[in-house]
Amino acid sequence: MFSKMVLMLLIGGALTWLMGRSAIHIGASGLIFSLFAYLLFAGWFSKKIKYIVVSIGLIFFYSGMIFGVLPSTPGISWEGHLFGFIAGVIVAKIYHKNKVTKK
Q: What is the pLDDT of residues 60-87, one digit of tens each?
A: 999 888 887 888 777 777 888 899 999 9
Whether 54 is in a domain gets the answer yes
> Total domain count for the chain?
1
pLDDT at position 27 is 80
Quote the domain boundaries for residue 86: 2-15+30-95
| Residue 25, SS3 per DSSP | coil
Alpha helices per DSSP H over 1-103: 2-19, 29-46, 49-62, 78-95
pTM reported for the whole predicted model: 0.85
| Residue 41 counted as domain residue | yes
Angstrom CA distances, 50 to 82, 86, 100, stand at 26, 22, 19
Number of Cβ atoms within 10 Å of the Cβ of 91 = 25
The number of beta carbons lying within 10 Å of the beta carbon of residue 71 is: 11
Give average pLDDT by consecutive 10-residue segment, the chain, 103 residues.
89 90 81 93 90 92 85 81 94 80 56
